[in-house]
């Protein structure tokens, strides 16, 4: 993966004293980042998301078990891509695949290295 192709996420504090929160969970953010940068590694994701490698590894394990990721071993690294045919696991959205949801999120995320 080319250096700099993943944009580093940063937290924005809207008002002093308020807690930071995101509409998309860490799992959703990692999935979107992988969709925007297919073939990325755990290290790439940890650096771009400002998360520890072990946190990213745990999230990737969850996403793999849900059938949302494909893993390809290249040398000593695993490279990840999204299974766009996987079910989008969100209550209220039955039978929805990842393709339309992630395509919208990736399209709205300039600078992620698409």
- Domain-by-domain residue ranges, the chain? 26-107
Backbone phi, then psi, for 82, in 5-degree steps?
A: -90, 140
pLDDT at 1: 44
Q: Which residues pair with 80 in a beta bridge?
A: 40, 71
Which regions in the chain score pLDDT beneath 50? 1-5, 10, 110-114
Taking phi first (over 0 means left), then psi (-120 to 50 degrees means alpha), and beta for anything else, what does residue 17 get?
left
Provide φ and ψ at 72, rounded to 5°.
Answer: -125, 125
In the structure encoding, which two tokens stand for residue 45, read together? 């994701």
pLDDT for the residue 4: 44
Q: Where are the alpha helices (DSSP H) in the chain?
A: 26-36, 42-49, 53-65, 98-107
Residue 112: its pLDDT value, please?
A: 42
Res 55: pLDDT: 95
Give residue 31's pLDDT: 92
Average pLDDT over the chain reads: 80
Architecture of domain 26-107: Orthogonal Bundle (1.10)
Q: Output the pLDDT for position 104.
A: 82
**pLDDT score for 67:** 94
- What integer pLDDT is reported at residue 66 of this predicted model? 92
> What would you report as the CA-atom Rg of the chain, rounded to the nearest whole angstrom?
14
């Amino acid at each position: 993966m080319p250096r700099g192709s993943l944009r580093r996420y940063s937290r924005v504090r809207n008002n002093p004293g308020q807690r930071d929160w995101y509409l998309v969970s860490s799992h959703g953010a990692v999935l979107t980042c992988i969709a925007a940068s297919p073939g990325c590694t755990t290290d790439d994701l940890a650096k771009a998301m400002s998360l520890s490698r072990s946190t990213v590894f745990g999230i990737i394990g969850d996403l793999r078990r849900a059938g949302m990721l494909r893993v390809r071993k290249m040398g000593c690294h695993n490279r990840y891509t999204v299974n766009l045919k996987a079910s989008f696991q969100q209550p209220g959205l039955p039978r929805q695949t990842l393709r339309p949801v992630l395509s919208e999120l990736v399209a709205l995320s300039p600078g992620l290295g698409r």
